[in-house]
Amino acid sequence: MVTGFERGEGTVKANKKELLLTSAVCLLPLLAGVILYPRLPETMATHWGFDGTADGWAPRGMAGFDLPVFILALHLVCSYAESRDTKRKNVNPVLRTVMLWFCPAVSLLGGALTLGTGLGYEMHINTVVSVFMGLLFLILGNYLPKIRRNLTMGIKLPWTLASEENWNHTHRVAGFLWVLAGLVTLAVTLLGAWSSGLFFALLVLTAGIPTLYSYCYYRRHEKGGAQ
């Protein structure tokens, strides 16, 4: 018979293994940078505009190594915050997996684009990044309505954290808008019309509207009365 303590200990060990694996994946571009270092130019592109044109540069030592280390640090901070959440059991397991693998995915994508461009390949930066964003919007939007209140993931506003009803209503609205943003992003990318204006419009759609909705819900249903 497996006790609750044994199950908990097994979960902790599995989480540690998963953290080690994802941390190692974050550093794979660094290993690739070491292997490819002699073939890389002295100065490499590290940032691109919405049209895919490079507008930021760095020495090859920094371009190949700094990004994976920075993303690893961010990954460890996010993982630590999730492990300290007293309501972590409320996080949907699929979204937890997305959160855990987001930084490794960004590290692999950023490393591939940086190193590939440095080696002279045409990487189609704007298309790759916008497709990645569109898929991320779709995945997160599909699961946002399923998140219960927690301190790690979701739309953490004073009104949503204080009220179960506000949290649920806000995340249902946000889920619909995020899925819509994902579909729009993929469609616009296929049409070759991705732009900075569209990017900021999507920010308003996915962040501004849910925030405003949450506050209005609070004003209408909760302020001055019982939840």
Instruction: Name the DSSP class of 39.
Output: G
CB 188 within 8 A of CB 137: no
Look at residue 104 in the predicted model and tell me its pLDDT: 96
What's the predicted TM-score (pTM) here? Answer: 0.81
Q: How far is CA 25 from CA 66, 73, 107, in A?
A: 15, 13, 8
Say how far residue 59 (Cα) sits from the centre of its chain: 27
pLDDT of the chain, 227 residues: tens digit per residue:
545 444 445 556 778 899 999 999 999 999 999 999 999 999 999 888 877 788 889 898 888 788 899 999 999 998 888 887 766 676 778 888 888 999 999 999 999 999 999 999 988 888 999 999 999 999 999 999 998 888 888 899 999 998 999 999 999 999 999 999 999 999 999 998 888 888 889 988 999 999 999 999 999 987 654 44
Q: How far is CA 87 from CA 81, 160, 202, in A?
A: 11, 14, 30
Question: Amino acid identity, residue 52?
Answer: G
CB 171 within 8 A of CB 145: yes
- Residue 126: both structure tokens together: 């704007």
Q: How far is CA 80 from CA 77, 93, 157, in A?
A: 5, 17, 21
